[in-house]
Amino acid sequence: MNSTWKRYLVYFAQEHVNFRFAEIESLLSVFHIPVRFLEKPTDLQPYWIVEFNKEEDVKLLASRSLSIRYCLELWGHAKSMEDLHRDIKTLPTAFFEDHLQPNRTFKIAVQSFCKHLTQADKVTKIQTFSYLPFKGQVNLNNPDTHLLYLEYYGTDSNDPPEEPYCVFFGRWISAGFRQLIRELSLKTRKFIGNTSMDPQLSLLMANQAQVKPGDFVLDPFVGSGSLLVAAAYFGGYVIGSDIDYLMLHGKSRPSRIKQKKRDENESIKANMEQYGLQDKYVDVLVNDFSTQFFRDDTRFDSIITDPPYGIREATEKVGIHKDNYTIEERHLPTHIPAKVEYQFSKLYQDLLAFSAKHLKIRGRLVCWFPVFREDYSDEGLPSHLSMKLVANSEQVLSKYTSRRLLTFEKIEEPIDGQCNGINTIADFRNKYYRTRNETRRERRTKEAGIREQNRLEALQRNKNVVN
């Protein structure tokens, strides 16, 4: 057994919990980081206990992860503080003496999960570690050695137990990259649309796509370009396309409530310049995705996208319902192509086929897929024989609906017409509106029943008063 393996605590944010494993697995794969799980990871607890071969791997993983809050080199963990102290006291001095030298400052912090601790409680707990051979001075702002004691009280903050389920103590190694969520906030972004993806989900998608410096990344339903910003931040050269001319040229209706009209320079390119990413911006194209528009030999390292569902944004393609329709040559210079509905299942069929053709081998497609939760099954997901589904995470949207973040990896070059699973894809848009109308009718019927009941009760009260 390699003696350099050490235990670490990876502590997570409690947001988008279902995306946690997919993101970390993608980053471990792209950076070729070996890891050992000492406890089976679950979504129920906010931490993993793992082993890494070197501290640099921990820092590299945390430097890209949006799910990780921080990582600790684990000096001890137990069911109670007494057991924890007993375990730490058995450690050889050589285990921690390098971090507690006279020339190294230190501090000990206390945190708890799902239970509030007073400052007095924290100070009392810190004092119990006085047996550690500290030699340096305390520095609360910027210590050389940051030690952390953590108590875990489960996930029910309304009814936490008196004593923690388990406790941890270790040396702070690194924080995650969560400050990037604030840095790329939509509140301060120059150009946004009605369906702009929030920064955290955009960055999670870029991580699952394994975007690396120098990669060529496409979003074929680019909208206001949120996914391009995330991919460019991780070093990808980005290009987008969309059928919405007004959106790509910053001429659509403003999305901010108090904004009456868009500024003249609102655009995806302006967003790139805002974040200093203009050197990663290739271009955006006004384009109908249902048509061939890239050369056959064009290859992308990854494709990340959020296709329209036909709810907040229309699913459209260029077309006309008339048969044998032609345009006179004299009208061509000013002709604006008509649009027809882009059938939901056909859109995903085209997306999988396009990705199988234009991704490099082992390149990834990361896309959202909306579902009705009661109808969901793996068989109802889009599929392609050249594309392997490697991750499937759920974001719940409402009581009835959710959307799945699907990550596909290209495993082989496709054969013409090689696509399956298309007929099993339900039409999300039609059922969405049908369910919404049914819900409205049920609500109106219920409200009418309540009004009638109130009317009858009022008549009865008036009758009793008269009698």
Residue 194 and residue 226 in one domain: yes
Tell me what percent of the residues of the chain surpass a pLDDT of 90: 62
Scan for tokens 């997901």, then name that residue.
381
pLDDT at position 240 over 90: yes
pLDDT at 421: 45
Backbone angles phi, psi at 454, to 5 degrees: -65, -40
Please calculate the CA angle 190-192-197 and round it to the nearest 5 degrees: 125
pLDDT at 311: 64
Note the pLDDT of residue 258.
Answer: 81
User: How large is the average pLDDT for residues 386-397?
Assistant: 95
From the list 190, 224, 432, 210, the residue with the least C-alpha distance to 300 is 210
Do the beta carbons of residue 311 and residue 429 sit within 8 Å? yes
> Is the domain of 154 the same as that of 210?
no
Residue where a domain terminates, one of 152, 177, 202: 177
- Mean pLDDT calculated for residue range 244-256: 85
- Which residue reads 């507690």 in tokens? 100
- With beta carbons less than 8 A apart as the criterion, state whether 229 and 277 touch: yes
Mean pLDDT of 251-259: 82
Decide if 454 is inside a domain.
Answer: no
The whole-number average pLDDT for the span 132-153 is 92
The pLDDT tens digits for 44-79 are 899 999 999 999 999 999 999 999 999 999 999 999
pLDDT of residue 317: 76
- Among 67, 75, 90, 78, smallest CA distance to 151 is for 78
Q: Which amino acid would we find at residue 114?
A: C
Measured CA to CA, the distance from residue 386 to residue 389 in angstroms comes to 10
Residues 301 and 163 in one domain: no
Residue 154: per-residue pLDDT: 92
Residue of 114, 69, 108 whose CA lies nearest to 88: 108
When pLDDT is averaged across residues 403-422 and rounded to a whole number, the result is 81
Q: Residue 126 and residue 107: Cα distance in Å, rounded?
A: 10
Which residues is 10 bridged to in the sheet? 48, 71
Q: At what angle do helices 55-62 and 20-30 cross, to 10 degrees?
A: 120
Q: Which of 127, 145, 177 is the last residue of a domain?
A: 177
Q: Is residue 463 part of a domain?
A: no
Residues 20 and 148 in one domain: yes
Q: Would the pLDDT of 2 be above 50?
A: no
What are the φ/ψ torsions at residue 281 (nearest 5 degrees)?
-90, 120
On the CB side of 148, CA atoms within 13 Å amount to: 20
pLDDT tier, 455 (very low <50, low <70, confident <90, very high otherwise): confident
- Report how far apart the first and last C-alpha atoms of the chain are (Å, whole number): 93
* Number of domains observed in the structure of the chain: 2
Of the two residues 434 and 296, the one the predictor is more confident about is 296
Q: In CATH, what number is assigned to the domain containing residue 83?
A: 3.30.2130.30
Q: Is residue 375 part of a domain?
A: no
Say yes or no to pLDDT of 302 above 60.
yes
* Tens digit of each residue's pLDDT (9 = 90 or more) over 342-359: 888 889 999 999 999 999
Could you tell me if 89 and 205 lie in one domain? no
Residue with tokens 């939901």: 344
Provide φ and ψ at 301, rounded to 5°.
-75, -30
Same domain for 282 and 162, yes or no, is: no
The mean per-residue pLDDT over the stretch 160-167 comes to 93
pLDDT-derived band at 39 (thresholds 50, 70, 90) equals: confident
Q: Give 132's strand partners.
A: none
pLDDT surpassing 60 at residue 422: no
Beta strand spans in 289-439 (E): 300-305, 316-318, 339-341, 359-372, 387-396, 401-410
Q: What is the mean pLDDT of residues 6-30?
A: 95
Statement to judge: residues 155 and 251 lie in one domain: no
Backbone φ and ψ for 285, nearest 5 degrees, come out as -120, 135
Tell me: do 141 and 189 sit in the same domain: no
The answer to whether residues 189 and 135 belong to one domain is no
Interacting residues of 225 by C-beta distance below 8 A, sequence separation 6+: 191, 219, 240, 268, 271, 272, 284
What's the CATH number where 344 sits? 3.40.50.150
User: What's the average model confidence in pLDDT over 111-122?
Assistant: 94
- The first and second tokens of residue 262, run together, are 């868009």
* Cβ(285)–Cβ(277) below 8 Å: no
Tell me the H-state helices in 68-198. Answer: 81-89, 119-127, 179-183
Residue 413's nearest CA partner among 355, 350, 351, 346 is 355
Same domain, 95 and 208: no
269: which residues sit within 8 A by CB, 6+ positions away?
278, 281, 284
Write down the pTM of the prediction: 0.86
Kindly state the average pLDDT of the residues 133-141. Answer: 89
Q: Which helix (H) or strand (E) holds 174?
A: strand 166-175
Does pLDDT of 310 surpass 70?
no
Residue 395 lies in a domain: yes
Q: How confident is the model at residue 410 (pLDDT cuts 50, 70, 90)?
A: very high
Q: Is the pLDDT of residue 3 over 60?
A: no
Range(s) of the domain holding residue 124: 6-177
On whether the CB atoms of residues 238 and 176 are closer than 8 A, the answer is: no
Going by pLDDT thresholds of 50, 70 and 90, the confidence category of residue 268 is very high
Q: Which whole number is the average pLDDT over 35-43?
A: 88
Give the rounded distance of the alpha carbon of 247 from its chain centre: 24
**Considering only 117-126, 195-204, 302-311, 419-428, which range has the smallest mean pLDDT?**
419-428
Place of tokens 């993101």: 23
In a domain, 378, yes or no: no
Q: Examine residue 381 and state whether it is found in any structural domain, yes or no.
A: no
Higher-confidence residue: 460 or 206?
Answer: 206
* Residue 75, in any domain of the structure: yes
61: number of Cβ within 10 Å: 23
Q: How, if at all, do strands 300-305 and 359-372 pair?
A: parallel
Check whether residue 214 and residue 171 sit in a common domain. Answer: no
The mean of the pLDDT values for the chain is 88
DSSP state of 98: G
Q: 158 with 209, same domain?
A: no
Tell me which of 177, 199, 220 is where a domain ends.
177
Lowest mean pLDDT segment, chosen from 157-166, 393-402, 411-420: 411-420
| pLDDT in the model for residue 440 | 64
Q: Which residue has the higher pLDDT, 285 or 421?
A: 285
Name residue 107's beta-bridge partners. Answer: 146
38 assigned to some structural domain: yes
